[in-house]
Amino acid sequence: MPTDPNAFLYLFFEPIAPFLDDPDVSEIMINGPDRIYVERRGRIESTNACFCSENALRAAAMNVARSVGRMLGEENPILEARLPDGSRLEAVIPPLSRTGTVVSIRKFRKEKLTPAELVRFGSISEGGVRLIETIVRLHKNLVVSGATSSGKTSVLNVLSGIIDPGERILVIEDASELQLQQPHTVRFETRKPDKDGKGEVTIRDLLIAALRLRPDRLVIGEVRGGEALDLLEALNTGHAGSMSTIHANTPLDTLSRLETCTLLSGIDIPMPAVRAMVAGAIGVIIQTARLSDGSRKITHISEVLGLEEGVYKMQDIYVFRPEGLAPDGKVAGHHVFTGATPRFAEEARRLNLPEPWADERA
């Protein structure tokens, strides 16, 4: 058996062991005992692997749950777990799943992703890297948005690597995935309720506690619900330079999604007040996307300018412009600066930070 933090996976999930070892496989998707897919280099592929029966697959999932201190069964038919190496496992069993036990394993990337690698992969240009370096060093509050599997967490990892190592960073996640290397990093992780429905600790609970622990920056793994209200309040009261991710399809959708999450707090706040909070809290949105060829790119870096007659005002500083498909099926295109000058340009100039929007034009 491999000497691996997730060695028990090889024991319980022997049919998928080759994919666990394959560095090109980023995700394994089990849709019942005999339908197993993998994502390899951004492409989803069907495999010939299978479990001998539905009972064997379900037993494997339940054994993994017990190995990481979680429950999976009739009373708890959904499992969300972080594996010892940082990989993420999600499982759903019947009757919630109509196709048998469903398991997804998003593998942990052992190597830290760097800005240079993003450039090499074509996810961003060198000018784009200089732009995000300036944004992070200016302590602009930012949100990385995108669809599922668009690379949000990977981009947030890269952004966090730009933070000054002398800053105190408080990280809050449902399941720890971020790979911050700064020495003064404090990590928090939510807790699911026990079998009696007690003991749950949510992102909102942790965020409220974190605000009393003197953070220089807050890094929230993902905003999903009412914790958005507490985050917006924190960002509007001096916690500059904070970062998070959210599911949204465009930069403008990101702001609408934050509105919706804020309303889930259960506190009755007039919509104009919610919009004012969102517009005042968020400085920059970095949009990610998974394109038709499986590649992941930063498609927009947009600045939030505030409200104008109750409507969000934004400007794109940097975008990816697709130009069709190349003969090999890859999406052709290039990243460009739009010509817009960000409002933080003068601040960047005073601090002698890169001004790539002035060096490169569309």
Q: What is the CA radius of gyration of the chain?
A: 21
- What is the rounded distance in angstroms from the CA atom of residue 187 to the CA atom of residue 213? 12
For the residues 342-359, what does the mean pLDDT come to?
94
For the residues 303-315, what does the mean pLDDT come to?
95
**pLDDT band at residue 330 under the 50/70/90 scheme:** confident
For the residues 316-342, what does the mean pLDDT come to?
92
**pLDDT band at residue 112 under the 50/70/90 scheme:** confident
The 10s digit of each residue's pLDDT in 116-147 is 999 999 999 999 999 999 999 999 999 999 99
| DSSP percent split of the chain into helix, strand, coil, nearest 5 | 30, 30, 45
Whether the CB-CB separation of 168 and 215 falls below 8 Å is answered with yes
Within 13 Å of residue 305, how many CA atoms lie on the same side as its CB? 14
**pLDDT band at residue 198 under the 50/70/90 scheme:** confident
Q: What is the dihedral sign for C-alpha 334, 289, 87, 101?
A: negative
- What is the rounded distance in angstroms from the CA atom of residue 95 to the CA atom of residue 140? 46
The 10s digit of each residue's pLDDT in 200-258 is 898 889 988 988 899 999 998 889 889 899 889 888 887 889 999 999 999 999 999 99
Structural domains of the chain, ranges and CATH numbers in brackets: 7-106 (3.30.450.90), 115-359 (3.40.50.300)
Among candidate residues 251, 200, 252, 258, the one with its CA nearest the CA of residue 225: 258
What type of residue is 357? Answer: W
- What is the rounded distance in angstroms from the CA atom of residue 95 to the CA atom of residue 92? 9
- On the 0-12 / 13-18 / 19+ scale of CB atoms within 10 A, 84 is middle
For the residues 107-111, what does the mean pLDDT come to?
74
The pLDDT of residue 3:
57
Quick check: helix, strand or coil at residue 59? Answer: helix
- What is the rounded distance in angstroms from the CA atom of residue 80 to the CA atom of residue 190? 11
Q: Which CA distances in Å does 64 have to 13, 35, 54, 77?
A: 9, 20, 16, 14
- What is the rounded distance in angstroms from the CA atom of residue 94 to the CA atom of residue 92? 7
The 10s digit of each residue's pLDDT in 11-55 is 899 999 999 989 889 899 999 999 999 999 878 999 999 999 999
The pLDDT of residue 84:
80
- What is the rounded distance in angstroms from the CA atom of residue 128 to the CA atom of residue 301? 8
Q: Which residue do the tokens 């995000």 mark?
A: 132
Q: Which residue do the tokens 């997730």 mark?
A: 6
Kindly state the tokens that stand for 343: 């409002």
